[in-house]
């Protein structure tokens, strides 16, 4: 049997992000549930978040972010042969989101699948995309994290409605000519199914339930070793990182992990302040905005770390396109 | 060997300084976490985690709500040391 020709490495060619137009401030939430701007800022670090319009779908947001990443990559739709959408809030069970997104972006008949690793989704999808490129099963992959969490929130539950939000982020992954040009490092991933009951949505008529304190304890104790291991496997010392872009779950978790990672020089993403927690979208969305603002130099090493319901987690070092 | 109250207090002061930015000299036994030291439930989790590293005593989430003062934590650590 003949097999595909492996490729030396994979790299990210471009990022793109999309946020819905509607800004929801803490004061707006404080008008309907018992909370305050000060309380939300100090507990989770969010000042405002974006919420999709009622008729705006996960696919709409994925198309917007994916289209931007594709345009920024300099490639055209026909160059993409695999589309992966990380989402835990698809509109329907079938059809999947990826095939619809591909069609709307004019990508002709690519491999297309959705992936659910909740808030770790983008890092899982990026690892799968990178491996597909390296194995020679895909040429260029469009990887998207897109969520409409607002549809799964009990807007009278002040412990969750202040946290979650909507948005999408995307990356185009392609081959690196030489191993030295590789831009996606080895993934360190895992799960803790014994904590499945800490963050869940029971069924179609339910809302996100989260045991905040238990998740906080887990995230601030279990994740920095994963982050360090991802650096080690990529051969990048934490002190060499230009930035640390973890899932934007809670600013207090982000700061605690960053402190324990030991990368005092690294720019730590704080996109949550104006984006809220957008689950699988948060990492590529934060990255696209940091690149847009000129905060990250091309070629700079950046550590990504996704974590959330499952519990699932994944981290890898990338280089900025 | 079991730690003295003073040793635990000193250790707690260091932890609270690092986690919540409250100067260690303000951490005295009679202070309440919420009202006197302005420490919220998430910081209490971080303090519990750091205390586990420092004192080798596990403080589960369901016990945290009963630890209202610095003295409560000192007592908890000493009790757990005895039973360990």
Instruction: Report the 10 Å Cβ neighbour count for B67.
Output: 20
Strands of the A166-176 sheet, one edge to the other: A9-18, A166-176, A141-148, A82-86, A111-115
Q: How far apart are CA A17 and CA A279, in angstroms?
A: 14
What is residue B62's predicted lDDT score, i.e. its pLDDT? Answer: 87
Q: How far apart are CA A243 and CA A268, in angstroms?
A: 6
Helical H segments across chain A, by residue range: 26-30, 37-43, 58-73, 97-104, 121-135, 212-234, 251-261, 272-275, 282-292
Domain boundaries, chain B: 5-83
Of A107, A119, A10, residue with least CA distance to A67? A107
Region for A262 from its dihedrals, namely left if φ exceeds 0, alpha if ψ lies in -120 to 50, beta otherwise:
left
Tokens of A221: 């104790």
Q: Which residues contact A277 (CB under 8 A, 6 or more apart)?
A: A44, A46, A49, A119, A149, A163, A164, A165, A247, A248, A249, A250
The catalytically annotated residue of A161, A250, A277, A312 is: A277
Please tell me the distance in Å from A36's CA to the nearest CA on chain B.
15
The catalytically annotated residue of A26, A224, A231, A247 is: A247
A277 is known as an active-site residue = yes
Examine the pLDDT at B83 and tell me if it is beyond 70: no
ipTM over 0.85: no
With bands split at pLDDT 50, 70 and 90, how would you rate the model's confidence at B80?
Answer: confident
Q: How far apart are CA A169 and CA A66, in angstroms?
A: 7
Examine the pLDDT at B82 and tell me if it is beyond 80: no
* Cis status of the peptide bond prior to A131, with omega within 30 of 0: no
- The structural domains of chain A, ordered by start, are 9-179 (3.40.47.10), 181-319 (3.40.47.10)
Chain B hits for A216, CB-CB cut-off 8 Å, are 42, 45
Residue A268 DSSP one-character state: E
Q: How far apart are CA A246 and CA A255, in angstroms?
A: 10
What is residue B41's predicted lDDT score, i.e. its pLDDT? Answer: 87
Chain B hits for A42, CB-CB cut-off 8 Å, are 40
Name the residue of chain B whose CA is nearest to A250's CA.
B42
Instruction: Report the 10 Å Cβ neighbour count for A22.
Output: 13
CB-based contact A304:A316 (threshold 8 Å): yes
Q: How far apart are CA A44 and CA A51, in angstroms?
A: 17
Tokens of B10: 């000193």
A88 is known as an active-site residue = no
Of A215, A180, A213, A179, residue with least CA distance to A196? A215
Examine the pLDDT at B84 and tell me if it is beyond 60: no
What is residue A309's predicted lDDT score, i.e. its pLDDT? Answer: 95
Q: How far apart are CA A156 and CA A170, in angstroms?
A: 31
Please indicate if any CB of chain A lies within 8 Å of the CB of B49. Answer: yes
Average pLDDT over residues B46-54: 91
Fold for domain B5-83? 1.10.1200
Mutation site, B15, B17, B21, B42, interface A, largest A CB count within 10 A: B42
What is residue A202's predicted lDDT score, i.e. its pLDDT? Answer: 87
End-to-end alpha carbon distance in chain B: 12
Of A115, A98, A94, residue with least CA distance to A107? A98
Task: Return the higher-pLDDT residue of B80 and A174.
Answer: A174
Percent of chain B with pLDDT over 70: 95
Of A119, A122, A144, A102, residue with least CA distance to A18? A144
What is residue B12's predicted lDDT score, i.e. its pLDDT? Answer: 95
Q: How far apart are CA A160 and CA A298, in angstroms?
A: 36
Of A284, A302, A6, A12, residue with least CA distance to A173? A12
Q: What is the pLDDT along chain A (321 residues), one digit of tens a residue?
A: 999 999 999 999 999 999 999 999 999 999 999 999 999 999 999 999 999 999 999 999 999 999 999 999 999 999 999 999 999 999 999 999 999 999 999 999 999 999 999 999 999 999 999 999 999 999 999 999 999 999 999 999 999 999 999 999 999 999 998 878 889 999 999 999 999 999 999 887 789 999 988 999 999 999 999 999 999 999 999 999 999 999 999 999 999 999 999 999 999 999 999 999 999 999 999 999 999 999 999 999 999 999 999 999 999 999 999
């Amino acid at each position: 049997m003949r097999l595909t020709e492996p490729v030396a490495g994979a790299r990210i060619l471009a990022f793109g992000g999309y946020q819905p137009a509607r800004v929801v401030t803490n004061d707006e939430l404080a008008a309907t549930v018992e909370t305050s701007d000060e309380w939300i800022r100090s507990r989770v670090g969010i000042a405002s978040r974006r919420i999709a319009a009622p008729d705006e779908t996960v696919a709409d947001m994925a198309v917007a972010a994916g289209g931007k990443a594709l345009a920024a990559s300099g490639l055209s739709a026909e160059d993409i042969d695999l589309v992966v959408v990380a989402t835990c809030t698809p509109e329907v069970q079938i059809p999947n989101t990826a095939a619809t997104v591909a069609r709307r972006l004019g990508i002709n008949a690519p491999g297309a699948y959705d992936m659910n690793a909740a808030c770790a989704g983008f890092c899982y999808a990026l690892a799968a995309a990178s491996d597909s490129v390296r194995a020679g099963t895909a040429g260029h992959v469009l990887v998207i994290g897109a969520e409409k969490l607002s549809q799964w929130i009990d807007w009278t539950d002040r412990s969750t409605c202040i946290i979650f939000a909507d948005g999408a982020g995307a990356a185009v992954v392609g081959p690196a000519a030489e191993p030295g040009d590789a831009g996606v490092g080895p993934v360190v991933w895992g799960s803790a199914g014994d904590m499945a009951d800490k963050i869940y949505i029971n069924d179609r008529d339910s809302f996100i339930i989260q045991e905040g304190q238990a998740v906080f304890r887990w995230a601030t104790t279990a994740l920095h070793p994963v982050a360090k291991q991802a650096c080690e496997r990529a051969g990048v010392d934490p002190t060499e990182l230009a930035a640390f872009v973890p899932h934007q779950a809670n600013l207090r978790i982000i700061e605690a992990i960053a402190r324990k990672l030991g990368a005092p020089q690294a720019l730590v993403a704080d996109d949550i302040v104006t984006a809220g927690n957008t689950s699988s979208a948060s990492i590529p969305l934060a990255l696209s905005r940091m690149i847009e603002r000129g905060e990250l130099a091309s070629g700079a090493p950046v550590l990504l770390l996704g974590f959330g319901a499952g519990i699932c987690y994944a981290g890898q070092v990338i280089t900025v396109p | 060997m079991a730690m003295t109250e003073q040793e635990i207090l000193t250790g707690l002061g260091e932890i609270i300084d690092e986690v919540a930015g409250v100067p260690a000299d303000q951490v005295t036994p009679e202070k309440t976490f919420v009202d006197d030291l302005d420490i919220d439930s998430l910081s209490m989790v971080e303090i519990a985690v750091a205390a586990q590293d420092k004192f080798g005593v596990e403080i589960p989430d369901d016990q945290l709500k009963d630890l209202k003062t610095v003295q409560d934590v000192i007592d908890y650590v000493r009790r757990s040391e005895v039973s360990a």
